[in-house]
Structure 1
Amino acid sequence: MSLINTQVKPFTATAYKNGEFIEVSDKDMIGKWSVVFFYPADFTFVCPTELGDLADHYAEFQKMGVEVYSVSTDTHFTHKAWHDSSEEIKKIEYPMVGDPTWTLAKNFEVLIEQDGLADRGTFVIDPNGTIQIVEINAGGIGRDASELLRKLKAAQYVYAHPGEVCPAKWKEGDATLAPSIDLVGKI
């Protein structure tokens, strides 16, 4: 079953953010856009490149009213240790959520149970707590924050403009479409 257009399931977890441990829950995602960004594990190889890329673009996400939550099945203590020891991870200002009980990985259907790790899953959640974008990558395939930003802008546009849709390769400022019988067979 697809998670598209479903509500984020209830959860509470502890995250590491800016030198502190904080509580994060599904309620934090209501009223603003959120990205939940699962990755397999701290102290690995592709993961720090992805999280560093998100950190490099974090100001852009914030400007769009989007909070980023990175999540792995590690603990919040492990997130702190990684943050303290890696120059790439030290750049991170968004919450690094610990999911040692696998609650979030199960809720978002990215748990690799036999390994106790999460797939590389990206979820964009609208201000109503509804999942609008789902992307799952194999472990060896890193994601690109600039492409995520493009898709987020499209999701925000469609959310704010009911009756319009964004075609392939749409970028902010490009023309959109208004689906109707008049467009059938003309694109």
Structure 2
Amino acid sequence: MVANVNTEIKPFNTTAFHNGKFVDISDADVKGKWSIFFFYPADFTFVCPTELGDLADHYEELQKMGVEVYSVSTDTHFTHKAWHDASETIAKIKYFMLGDRNATLATNFGVLREGEGSADRATFLVDPQGIIQSVEVTAEGIGREAADLVRKVKAAQYVASHPGEVCPAKWKEGDKTLAPSLELVGKI
């Protein structure tokens, strides 16, 4: 079962490929900042590099928003390095590429494909307290768009810093928000 919104991420320890090095990452490293866990089925595949490349193109913007990105597949950190070295698209990645060979993260987030050993295509936005604020899971052949993910992060950050306000459909930074109340019922 996919991890639910408003639940805390579960403990984990893994190794990532990041900026030419192997680094250890745990749930403790995630807390204190906004984080995106970007699960994908496998390295050296087809839709996955297009998504990861698109996310790489938006990484600087996410960093300016105080967001760290963790891509995750059940491949090893060694495989991530090999892919990074072999693919021009993947070579653009500056965010963490987490190895999940034991499928701990895929299991914790509820996106492990039983019997396959790979993860579903899924995105989780986690707030600084380690609480999941957004979940998106798509079918194998449906790629995600990083620009929409950036929009969702902005909305989640806005709502977190403006209690009592919510962001309506297609909300973009600077747009009007709503303040739910009895007076709005049936008037939208």
Q: TM-score range by the shorter chain?
A: over 0.9
What's the offset of the Cα at 1:120? 0.4
The equivalent residue for 1:65 is 66
Aligned residues: 187
One-letter amino acid of the counterpart of residue 82, structure 1: W
One-letter amino acid of the counterpart of residue 38, structure 1: F
One-letter amino acid of the counterpart of residue 24, structure 2: E
One-letter amino acid of the counterpart of residue 61, structure 2: E
What's the offset of the Cα at 1:113? 1.9
Structure 1: 5+ residue stretches without partners? none
1:56 matched to 2:79: no
Alignment of 1:17-36 (within 5 A): 17-36=18-37
1:40-75 alpha-carbon deviations (Å, 9 max, x no partner): 000000000000001011000000000000000000
What's the offset of the Cα at 1:3? 1.2
1:6-34 alpha-carbon deviations (Å, 9 max, x no partner): 00100000000010000111111111100
One-letter amino acid of the counterpart of residue 183, structure 1: L
Secondary structure, in 3 states, of the residue corresponding to 1:146? helix
The equivalent residue for 1:184 is 185
One-letter amino acid of the counterpart of residue 117, structure 2: G
Structure 2: 5+ residue stretches without partners? none
One-letter amino acid of the counterpart of residue 43, structure 1: F
Root mean square deviation of aligned Cα:
0.7
Distance in 2 between the 1:184 and 1:18 partners? Answer: 50
Distance in 1 between the 2:125 and 2:28 partners? Answer: 15
Distance in 2 between the 1:53 and 1:167 partners? Answer: 25
The equivalent residue for 2:45 is 44
Distance in 2 between the 1:111 and 1:41 partners? Answer: 12
The equivalent residue for 2:149 is 148
The equivalent residue for 2:98 is 97
Distance in 1 between the 2:96 and 2:63 partners? Answer: 13
One-letter amino acid of the counterpart of residue 58, structure 1: Y
Report sequence identity in percent: 71
The equivalent residue for 2:119 is 118
